[in-house]
A and B are shown apart, each in its own frame.
Chain A
Amino acid sequence: MGRTFGRVDKWSAFWSSVIREIDKLGMGSIVIVSIISVFIGAVISIQLAVQIDSPLIPKFTIGFGTRDTVILEFSSTVIGLILAGKVGSNIGSEIGSMRVSEQIDALEIMGVNSANYLILPKIVAALIINPILTLMSMILGILGGYIACISSGLLDSDTFIFGAQYYFKPWHLYYSLIKSIVFAFIITSISCYKGYYVEGGSEEVGKASTKAVVNSSISILFWNLILTVLLLL
């Protein structure tokens, strides 16, 4: 950890690595995050509509419930778990392969701090791009809910929009973004650690990649609970 956050050897190389990682980790996840957000948002709104059949509960609750479910939990935690699978395995196998093929040793022998050179740009990139992906997921999730309600005739447009804006607490948005930043750190640091300390061959790289996903996912669930207690109660 100390070596990872040590002094950067060359800032120009560091920032170009960060940009490359943002492209790889972030841009490469836009499609999957978009698809999942739209569909899950749609399903959340339909499920809410089906369950709210009492005339005492106003219809706009569907828009309200969709918004809060997407913002509070789905966009940060579920997207975090999905990224743990996609990005975590990618990072674990990439760094693990570099370890077993002696590329990390080559960096060390050149005098490059390999932990800092390989891991820090990934962490910084994830810390930048994960909140952006989370925000995008929120917008698309609510949009998915809106499209599902309108197209299925469960709700009219004005009622959904009224519900989606009703009693909005900005803190919920900040809470979700804070979670996304913490999850970004968890995913990248655990995956990098698992890859960096691989010993053996390609089989061990595969195992490290799996461990990266499993450990990141469990940590996300654990820290989700801790952050919810700390920030919402």
Chain B
Amino acid sequence: MIEVKNANKHFGTNHVLKDINATFEDGKCNLIIGRSGSGKTVLMKCLVGLFTPETGEILYDGRDFAHATSAEKKKIRQDIGMVFQGGALFDSLNCEENIAFPLKMFTKMTRTEIKERVNYCMDRVNLVNANKLFPSEISGGMKKRVAIARAIALKPKYLFFDEPNSGLDPQTSIVIDELIIEITKEINATTIINTHDMNSVFEMGERIIYIFKGEKNWEGDFTQIAKSDNKELIDFIFASNLLKRVKDTF
């Protein structure tokens, strides 16, 4: 479980995160949603330690990450897997080497063991015949799969996904969403997903936090959205005419 307590973050005079309190539960897909510029990416970067909140705590199963020593942070980070918007695969390494990278850096596994783990991770994300391909030679959907395979290589307790569906076609997006749900349940991970994708919200939103102008404006699950009378949330979720019509129908 990851808890955020009274987190504040400024960039100059811009108060980007305003006293955020949130809890992200184990074995669930926790979604952070909000408009562009609302502060959700900053929140995620605070959660993974790329930014440090000026005040407040980030607790990983009770361990304070924001104010931990670099040795403690390093230990916690080995329990974190993150999939970036663009994949962030290492250009100079092929798919197999990308997935093997954290195993080589942080384990004492033999080459054979690493090879077996890499093959397992590739199978798990349904990657076929891509071992020797470089990131520049594969599609966006495949890059996301390789990034997921790399993120799960060390069997993390905490999984982060930054806009996992951006740049993907609707069908591939659904496949990636299903994969995230399956992996979360399989390893009982605390999964946090930063997304704009409304399909993902209704598909995966077991727990949703809506960020509006740097504040936590709403939280709940996808079944509670339609019943909510929160104007900002409703305007955001049902922004498209299609979704408005769907909402009116029900």
A contact residues vs B (CB 8 Å cutoff) = 9-10, 13, 97-98, 101-103, 105-106, 108-112
Contacts and interface: CB of A to CB of B under 8 A. Distances in A.
A91 to B, nearest CB: 13
Contact of A108 (B50, B89, B104): B50
Interface string B68-99: 00000111011010101110111100000000
Contacts of B105: 9-10, 13, 110, 112
19 contacts: A9-B105, A13-B105, A98-B90, A98-B91, A101-B91, A103-B89, A103-B90, A103-B91, A106-B88, A106-B90, A108-B49, A108-B50, A109-B48, A109-B50, A110-B101, A110-B102, A111-B73, A111-B75, A111-B78
Given A13-B104, A108-B49, A108-B50, A102 B85 contact: yes
Contacts of B101: 110
B91 A102 contact: no
A24 B85 CA distance: 30
Nearest to A107: B90
A98 B92 CA distance: 10
Interface of B: 48-50, 73-75, 77-78, 80, 82, 84-86, 88-91, 101-102, 104-106, 160
Nearest to B160: A109
B84 A106 contact: yes
Contact of B77 (A13, A97, A102, A109): A109
Contacts of B88: 101-103, 105-106
Contacts of A101: 86, 88, 91
Contacts of B91: 97-98, 101, 103
Nearest to A16: B104
A10 B75 CA distance: 15
Contacts of A110: 77-78, 80, 101-102, 105-106
Contacts of A98: 90-91
In the complex, which of the residues A105, A108, A111 has the most CB atoms of chain B within 10 Å of its own CB atom? Answer: A111
A9 B77 CA distance: 14
A105 B106 contact: no
Contacts of A105: 50, 84, 88
A102 B86 contact: yes
A163 B143 CA distance: 62
Contacts of B160: 109
A102 B86 CA distance: 8
User: Nearest 7 CB-CB pairs, A to B?
Assistant: A111-B77, A102-B88, A106-B88, A111-B74, A102-B84, A109-B82, A103-B88
Contact of A109 (B80, B86, B90, B104): B80
A105 B75 CA distance: 17
Contacts of B75: 111
A13 B73 CA distance: 21
Contacts of A10: 104-105
